[in-house]
Amino acid sequence: MRPRPFARRRAAKKLDQQLGHLLWRQAHDRFARSLDRYWQIVEPQASSTIPQEQLNGLINAGNFLTDALVTVQKICTVCRARFGEHDLDVPNGANDIHRYLSRAANDLAATAQAAAMFKRGQASLESVGRRAEKVLESVHAAEQLLDA
């Protein structure tokens, strides 16, 4: 069931308060858009020719990636508070964190692409898993740098 428009607006306002409209919001939104794309491709309700066990693997990977979105939001919120906002320029001290967040979003888009190729029979389920692991590693690295 899709969230109602009012609920989406309220969630967007909350993100605006936490992340602003500049660099850290952009980093969060890139990850979120890639995650949305992943779920559009996997879409468990759509009729598919892949076995249920393999679909469950895609869904399981998607659940881990969805959990990572919460971590990305936390990282971006803390970075905005710690480093401030300077238009879309990455502030000093946040270069590596921002680089890992960007890498995670790019790897998540590649994960969605691997899932699409798998559903078409042109890639393996393991390739989706490897891509998803790279996403989680990048998010974890950004979190470690934030805590350091």
pLDDT tens-place string over residues 96-141: 999 999 999 999 999 999 999 999 989 999 999 999 999 999 999 9
Structure confidence at residue 11 (pLDDT): 60
Cα angle: 2, vertex 15, 136; to 5 degrees: 80
Residue ranges and CATH numbers for the domains of the chain are 5-147 (1.20.1410)
CA 88, CA 5: separation in Å to the nearest integer?
28
**Percent with pLDDT over 70 in the chain:** 84
Question: Would you give the distance in Å from CA 11 to the centre of its chain?
Answer: 17
| 18-74 tens-digit pLDDT | 676 688 889 999 999 999 999 999 987 765 678 889 999 999 999 999 999 999 999
The closest alpha carbon to 146, from 56, 138, 15, 11, belongs to 138
Structure confidence at residue 60 (pLDDT): 94
